């Protein structure tokens, strides 16, 4: 134990740092008005982590240092809600809203009340959770479950930046009732951008259909560090357990904001039905400009003392209702159907549509998912079809406008053979999809595997685009990603739109890909069901490829978030002769077959950062510098974009520097970079 004096001093500093860090966190995530740079923020956090490491007894679960997660939960305990978490009844028309309004009016009248004041809020499309704060500290967070009992997912919820771990003391003191416990309910959701980033790193077969599914799946993960990486948002819409139970709902929303919660800020006090209708009308179009999905409006009686008096039916309260916007639809002609062959051989029918505007973008394609879907819809070529964009990102065909069917429609001919290699298609038992079984030779599958290998989150071989891969595969120069590393400049020069310069660029890009991490390589292999997150877990559990190849099903299933299906898929993958050939080629090419040295001694200063190097680095050299960033949790890419966090400039930095300055990306010298390490 350190000397008492020193410990006391540390305790004071830790307290100060925590308050400071949470304040900046709030300014950044809730107010979107940061006062300090990410770098300075990281410095504060780093100092806190250092002190907590030195005085482990001062570490508490509510320290902002714990937001990065790390805890593995095998099973979430069940908790009983203080009060049932009800859901809302839905309405779909303004007429229904008016009916609800009249119904409430009558109920109020029976209670002898004339004034009917309501609050209109947006309906967030996510997952409802309940948070319990005791003495201002977050002590429990749970899912809705069946409304009576939910799962205790506190560890996962702690990672969400808009969930305060401690409430703003000056306000919380006035709030607490006798039991000093308050409950906040709200919705956890994923912003569209965060959702797209997440899906990008997942294998096609495991992509989430919409942000809501992604949120629900993420909240149940066992590995809280992965939850932290996936970036979710919490919005608060309900507060209970405060000293003065008479405070009305509108003021509670404002109180929530003062306590440090994010409410979205878009709500309206309505003293008449007209105000409600206006709010619904205003947000019908405007909601598409928000960075997250909303599917409607929620109306609540403002006077909370009436909530109990009006009561609830078995499922939903009588004092509130949800209005759901109709999904955006458009009608257009189905011009034809294309059959795409994925890298795993799955055949996906894709509808080619006459271009039409829908929810702010022009749609000319839409997936039909599988052949059963074609049957279910009963759709024919040249039919008029109704397409819809709801929570889904990609629009889908929901029905055929049969009343408009002409004499000239044609049935969709489902191929018997693979459109790429002409092999007879097969259907696996219990699955709806057809597959091309010609895994080894089918050009479309080879092309898909090579493109996946080279993709941004995998080996990030930037100069390897679709057109080039098509040529390489088409001419038989590349049969698997391993062949990329034995390509000769002379072979490349002969290709269309390929000069010596582009050929050399590709060679350089391939060379750089050798210094990517082992974890990326595992993802790049394209094993069915192994996305970035799973690859990360695998790399941690099996720091050498040799170990992974030898793992059995039972052992694999004990890795966090890996179930029997994924385990089986990994084993099947390594049993294939073609895998053995590929692995040998990749090994000969010098790709990373083991994890970097244990990283305990290294900090995570570059966590979440995307770094670009430009110019000649005198102190480290490119590949050493890249390695240093990656070992500290960062990502290194070749070109500057809005997603870049940092540009490190060496001697004679050129166009990348210019672009960084134009985009307002942070630029540092090599010395500054060294000090950041
Ligand atoms: S209030 C008893 N307000 O919609 C009323 N719910 O369909 C409790 N939701 O379970 C809910 N935005 O998950 C409320 N502004 C909002 C909401 C909202 C989304 C969700 C919530 C609820 C579901 C009901």
> Does the beta carbon of 87 sit less than 6 angstroms from any atom of ligand 1?
yes
Confirm whether 269 is domain-assigned: yes
The domain that contains 407 carries what CATH number? 2.40.50.140
Following DSSP, what letter does each residue of 246-290 receive, concatenated?
A: T--HHHHHHHHHHTT----S-EEEESSHHHHHHHHHHHHHHGGGS
pTM of the model: 0.75
The domain that contains 525 carries what CATH number? 1.10.150.20
Which of 298, 299, 314, 324 is the pocket-test mutation for ligand 1 (most atoms within 8 Å of CB)? 298
Confirm whether 597 is domain-assigned: no
Confirm whether 267 is domain-assigned: yes
Confirm whether 602 is domain-assigned: no
| pLDDT above 70 for 212 | yes
Atom 11, ligand 1: residue with shortest CA distance? 87
pLDDT given for residue 176 in this prediction:
57
> Does the beta carbon of 296 sit less than 6 angstroms from any atom of ligand 1?
no
Q: Does one domain contain both 217 and 185?
A: yes
pLDDT given for residue 571 in this prediction:
96
The pLDDT mean for the chain works out to: 90
Stronger pLDDT, 138 or 639, i.e. the higher one: 138
Instruction: Give tens-digit pLDDT for 453-506.
Output: 999 889 999 889 899 999 999 999 999 999 999 999 999 988 888 888 889 999
Domain-ending residue, one of 324, 356, 376: 324
Ligand 1 closest atom vs CA 121:
15
Q: Does one domain contain both 241 and 370?
A: no
Measure the CA–CA gap between 56 and 65, rounded to whole angstroms.
12
> Does the beta carbon of 121 sit less than 6 angstroms from any atom of ligand 1?
yes
> Does the beta carbon of 187 sit less than 6 angstroms from any atom of ligand 1?
yes
Domain-ending residue, one of 324, 358, 383: 324
pLDDT given for residue 653 in this prediction:
80
pLDDT given for residue 3 in this prediction:
67
Which of 128, 262, 300 is the pocket-test mutation for ligand 1 (most atoms within 8 Å of CB)? 128
Exposed, middle or buried by CB within 10 Å (0-12, 13-18, 19+), for 159? buried
> What length does the chain have?
677
Measure the CA–CA gap between 295 and 612, rounded to whole angstroms.
39
Measure the CA–CA gap between 61 and 227, rounded to whole angstroms.
16
Task: Indicate the number of domains in the chain.
Answer: 5
The pLDDT of 614-631, averaged and rounded, is 78
Of 203-207, 285-289, 296-300, 479-483, the range with the lowest mean pLDDT is: 203-207
What is the token pair recorded at 439? 């895994």
Instruction: Give tens-digit pLDDT for 525-579.
Output: 999 999 998 999 899 889 999 999 999 998 898 887 788 999 999 999 999 999 9
Q: Does one domain contain both 167 and 193?
A: yes
What is the token pair recorded at 440? 């080894």
DSSP 205: G
The domain that contains 165 carries what CATH number? 3.30.470.30
Measure the CA–CA gap between 381 and 277, rounded to whole angstroms.
41
Q: Does one domain contain both 45 and 104?
A: no
| pLDDT above 60 for 598 | no
Domain that holds residue 637: 610-676
Residue 448 neighbours by CB under 8 Å, 6+ apart: 341, 342, 343, 344
Q: Does one domain contain both 307 and 346?
A: no
> Does the beta carbon of 123 sit less than 6 angstroms from any atom of ligand 1?
yes
Q: Does one domain contain both 533 and 656?
A: no
Instruction: Give tens-digit pLDDT for 50-69.
Output: 999 899 899 888 899 988 87
**Residue 171, CB-side half-sphere exposure with 13 Å CA sphere:** 14
CA of 87 to the centre of ligand 1 (A): 6
Give 157's pLDDT tier (boundaries 50, 70, 90).
very high
Nearest residue to 252 via CA among 74, 95, 119: 119
The pLDDT of 32-50, averaged and rounded, is 89
Q: Does one domain contain both 422 and 486?
A: no
pLDDT given for residue 320 in this prediction:
96
Q: Does one domain contain both 284 and 368?
A: no
Give 601's pLDDT tier (boundaries 50, 70, 90).
low
pLDDT given for residue 414 in this prediction:
85
Atom 17, ligand 1: residue with shortest CA distance? 123
Identify each DSSP E strand in 87-209 by its residue range: 90-91, 118-124, 127-134, 137-143, 149-151, 181-189
Confirm whether 435 is domain-assigned: no
Atom 7, ligand 1: residue with shortest CA distance? 88
Which of 188, 237, 306, 317 is the pocket-test mutation for ligand 1 (most atoms within 8 Å of CB)? 237
Atom 16, ligand 1: residue with shortest CA distance? 123
Do residues 235 and 181 lie in contact, with contact meaning Cβ atoms separated by under 8 Å?
Answer: no
Cα 534 to chain center, whole Å?
A: 15
Instruction: Give tens-digit pLDDT for 380-391.
Output: 999 999 999 866
Confirm whether 566 is domain-assigned: yes
Ligand 1 closest atom vs CA 125:
19
Instruction: Give tens-digit pLDDT for 78-90.
Output: 999 999 999 999 9
Alpha helices per DSSP H over 287-407 = 305-310, 371-377
Confirm whether 434 is domain-assigned: no
Catalytic residues: 123
Of 240-249, 339-348, 501-510, the range with the lowest mean pLDDT is: 240-249
| pLDDT above 80 for 173 | no
Do residues 369 and 231 lie in contact, with contact meaning Cβ atoms separated by under 8 Å?
Answer: no
Atom 2, ligand 1: residue with shortest CA distance? 86
pLDDT given for residue 651 in this prediction:
83
Q: Does one domain contain both 96 and 198?
A: yes
Domain-ending residue, one of 588, 620, 651: 588
Confirm whether 599 is domain-assigned: no
CA of 130 to the centre of ligand 1 (A): 12
Q: Does one domain contain both 198 and 297?
A: yes
> Does the beta carbon of 237 sit less than 6 angstroms from any atom of ligand 1?
yes
Percent above pLDDT 70 for the chain: 96
Strands 646-649, 347-358: pairing kind: unpaired
Contacts 24+ apart (CB under 8 A), 475-483: 478/446, 478/450, 479/446, 480/446, 480/449, 480/450, 480/578, 480/581, 480/582, 480/585, 481/449, 481/450, 481/453, 481/454, 481/524, 481/582, 481/586, 482/581, 482/582, 482/584, 482/585, 482/586, 482/589, 483/585
Give 670's pLDDT tier (boundaries 50, 70, 90).
confident
Measure the CA–CA gap between 159 and 215, rounded to whole angstroms.
13
The pLDDT of 436-444, averaged and rounded, is 95
Atom 22, ligand 1: residue with shortest CA distance? 87
| pLDDT above 60 for 600 | no
> Does the beta carbon of 293 sit less than 6 angstroms from any atom of ligand 1?
no
Q: Does one domain contain both 337 and 318?
A: no
Ligand 1 closest atom vs CA 128:
13
The domain that contains 50 carries what CATH number? 1.10.287.610
Q: Does one domain contain both 114 and 237?
A: yes
């Amino acid at each position: 134990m350190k000397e008492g004096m020193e410990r006391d001093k540390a305790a004071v500093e830790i307290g100060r740092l925590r308050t400071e860090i949470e304040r900046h966190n709030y300014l950044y995530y809730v107010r979107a008005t940061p006062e300090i740079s990410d770098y300075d923020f990281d410095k504060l956090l780093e100092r806190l982590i250092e002190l907590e490491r030195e005085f482990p007894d001062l570490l508490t679960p509510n320290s902002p240092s714990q937001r990065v997660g790390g805890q593995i939960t095998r099973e979430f305990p069940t908790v009983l809600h203080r009060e049932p978490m009800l859901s809302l009844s839905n309405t779909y028309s303004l007429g229904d809203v008016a009916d609800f309004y009249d119904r409430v009016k009558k109920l109020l009248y029976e209670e002898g009340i004339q004034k009917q004041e309501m609050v209109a809020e947006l309906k967030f499309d996510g997952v409802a959770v309940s948070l319990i704060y005791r003495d201002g500290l977050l002590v429990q967070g749970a899912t809705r479950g069946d409304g009576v009992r939910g799962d205790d997912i506190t560890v996962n919820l702690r990672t969400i930046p808009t969930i305060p771990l401690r409430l703003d003391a000056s306000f919380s003191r006035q709030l607490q009732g006798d039991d000093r416990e308050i409950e906040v309910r709200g919705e956890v959701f994923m912003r569209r951008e965060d959702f797209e980033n997440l899906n990008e790193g997942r294998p096609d077969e495991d992509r989430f259909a919409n942000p809501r599914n992604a949120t629900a799946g993420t909240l149940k993960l066992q590995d809280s560090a992965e939850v932290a990486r996936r970036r979710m948002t919490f919005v608060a819409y309900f507060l209970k357990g405060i000293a003065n139970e008479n405070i009305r709902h509108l003021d509670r929303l404002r109180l929530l904001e003062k306590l440090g919660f994010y409410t979205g800020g878009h709500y309206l006090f309505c003293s008449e039905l007209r105000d409600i209708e206006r709010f619904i009308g205003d947000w019908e179009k405007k909601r598409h400009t928000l960075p997250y999905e909303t599917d409607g409006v929620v109306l609540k009686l403002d006077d909370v003392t009436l909530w109990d008096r009006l009561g609830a039916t078995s499922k939903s309260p009588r004092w509130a209702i949800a209005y759901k916007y109709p999904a955006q639809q458009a009608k257009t002609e189905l011009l034809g159907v294309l059959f795409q062959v994925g890298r795993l051989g799955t055949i996906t029918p894709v509808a080619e549509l006459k271009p039409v505007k829908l929810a702010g973008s022009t749609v000319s394609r839409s997936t039909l998912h599988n052949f059963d879907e074609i049957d279910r819809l009963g759709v024919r070529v040249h039919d008029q079809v109704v397409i819809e964009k709801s929570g889904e990102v990609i629009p889908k065909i929901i029905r055929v406008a049969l009343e408009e069917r002409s004499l000239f429609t044609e049935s969709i001919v489902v191929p018997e053979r693979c459109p790429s290699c002409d092999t007879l298609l097969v259907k696996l038992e219990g699955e709806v999809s057809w597959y091309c079984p010609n895994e080894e030779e089918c050009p479309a599958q080879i092309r898909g595997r090579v493109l996946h290998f080279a993709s941004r989150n995998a080996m990030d071989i930037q100069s390897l685009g679709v057109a080039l891969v098509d040529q390489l595969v088409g001419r038989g120069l590349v049969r698997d990603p391993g062949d990329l590393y034995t390509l000769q400049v002379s072979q490349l020069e002969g290709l269309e739109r390929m000069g010596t310069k582009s050929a050399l660029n590709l060679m350089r890009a391939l060379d750089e890909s050798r210094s990517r991490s082992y974890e990326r390589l595992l993802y790049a292999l394209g094993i069915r069901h192994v996305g970035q997150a799973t690859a990360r877990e695998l790399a941690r559990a099996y720091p050498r490829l040799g170990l992974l190849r030898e793992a059995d099903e039972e052992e694999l299933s004990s890795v966090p978030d890996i179930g029997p299906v994924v385990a089986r898929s990994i084993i099947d993958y390594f049993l294939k002769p073609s895998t053995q050939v590929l692995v040998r080629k990749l090994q000969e090419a010098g790709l990373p077959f083991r994890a970097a040295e244990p990283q305990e001694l290294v900090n995570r200063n570059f966590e979440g950062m995307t770094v670009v190097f430009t110019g000649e680095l005198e102190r480290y050299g490119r590949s050493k510098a890249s390695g240093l960033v990656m070992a500290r949790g960062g990502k290194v890419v070749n070109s500057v974009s809005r997603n870049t966090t940092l540009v490190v400039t060496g001697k004679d930095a050129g166009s990348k520097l210019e672009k960084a300055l134009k985009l307002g990306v942070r630029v540092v010298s090599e010395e500054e970079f060294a000090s950041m390490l």
